[in-house]
Amino acid sequence: MSRIGVFFDRDGLLNVNTHYPHLVEDCYLVHGIGNALAAVVVHPRFVPIVVTNQGGVGEGRYSKEDAMAFEAELRRKIFFDTGFTIPVENWYHSWSSDDSDPFRKPNPGMLLQAAKDHDINLNTSAMFGDKPSDLIAGARAGCCALYLIGKGTPSLYDQVNSFMGVMNAKRRAKRRARKACASDSYEFT
């Protein structure tokens, strides 16, 4: 059975965006991110996936090693804040600054690869981001829900819970419909 992907942008959503964040000492979690991630991780049907453009590597602003050290620190802070982690294999990157790269958002390459790697049905998945390019990537990949997070919008936690509530309600409705159909007896003459 396919799983439901919950795709998160990284910079500005999980960590404070300090303009090309790559220094470990500049790694700060966005307030409340732990609760939003915990809501996803505790449900085995939902797969948290992080998709991040790291064009600063392609532009030569910092190295891939710096970016990976920053990300390791981010995962460490998420673990200490929540008691769980998003596995390394659930993090996808575009190292390019070239917008024609199929893996750089707004292109859907990272989401499509994650769907293949983790048996994710994109038609039941959601993309959460703080920029239009995040949502465009989600739409191009076929995600059924797109959530913009930022000033004037509900919190990431509220929006994640809203999506998960809808998906769980759909599942319960399907289960009730199957049960009702199985219990009804029809006589055809």
In this prediction, residue 187 carries a pLDDT of 53
Given a cut of 60, whether residue 19 has pLDDT beyond it is yes
| Residue 34, domain member (yes or no) | yes
| Residue 90, domain member (yes or no) | yes
**Average pLDDT for the chain:** 92
> In terms of residue numbers, what domain contains 43?
4-183
| Residue 189, domain member (yes or no) | no
Tokens of 46: 């939902």
In this prediction, residue 185 carries a pLDDT of 54
Hunting for tokens 């600063």 — which residue is that? 56
Given a cut of 60, whether residue 119 has pLDDT beyond it is yes
Region 181-186 average pLDDT: 64
| Residue 125, domain member (yes or no) | yes
| Residue 27, domain member (yes or no) | yes
184 is known as an active-site residue: no
In three-state form (DSSP H/G/I as H, E/B as E, the rest C), the secondary structure along 125-139 is CEEEECCHHHHHHHH
Cα 165 from Cα 37, distance rounded (Å): 15
117 is known as an active-site residue: no
Cα 63 from Cα 95, distance rounded (Å): 10
- Written as one letter, the residue type at 112 is L
Given a cut of 70, whether residue 138 has pLDDT beyond it is yes
**How many C-alpha atoms does 36 have within 13 Å on its Cβ side?**
23
In this prediction, residue 178 carries a pLDDT of 81
| Residue 188, domain member (yes or no) | no
| Residue 139, domain member (yes or no) | yes
In this prediction, residue 15 carries a pLDDT of 96
Structural domain total, the chain: 1
Given a cut of 90, whether residue 175 has pLDDT beyond it is no
In this prediction, residue 168 carries a pLDDT of 87
172: confidence class by pLDDT, cuts 50, 70, 90? confident
Given a cut of 70, whether residue 189 has pLDDT beyond it is no
Give me the CATH number covering residue 99.
3.40.50.1000
Considering the candidates 9, 66, 81, 98, report the single residue annotated as catalytic. Answer: 9
Considering the candidates 11, 26, 81, 134, report the single residue annotated as catalytic. Answer: 11
What's the predicted TM-score (pTM) here?
A: 0.91
In this prediction, residue 184 carries a pLDDT of 60
| Residue 173, domain member (yes or no) | yes
In three-state form (DSSP H/G/I as H, E/B as E, the rest C), the secondary structure along the chain is CCEEEEEECCECCCECCCCCCCCHHHCCECCCHHHHHHHHHCCCCEEEEEEEECHHHHCCCCCHHHHHHHHHHHHHHHHHHHCCCCCHHHEEEECCCCCCCCCCCCCCHHHHHHHHHHCECHHHCEEEECCHHHHHHHHHHCCCEEEECCCCCCCHHHHHHHHHHHHHHHHHHHHHHHHHHHHCCCCCC
Please, which residues bridge with residue 112 across strands? none
- Written as one letter, the residue type at 51 is V
* Cis previous bond, 108, omega within 30: no
In this prediction, residue 159 carries a pLDDT of 94
In this prediction, residue 9 carries a pLDDT of 98
183: confidence class by pLDDT, cuts 50, 70, 90? low
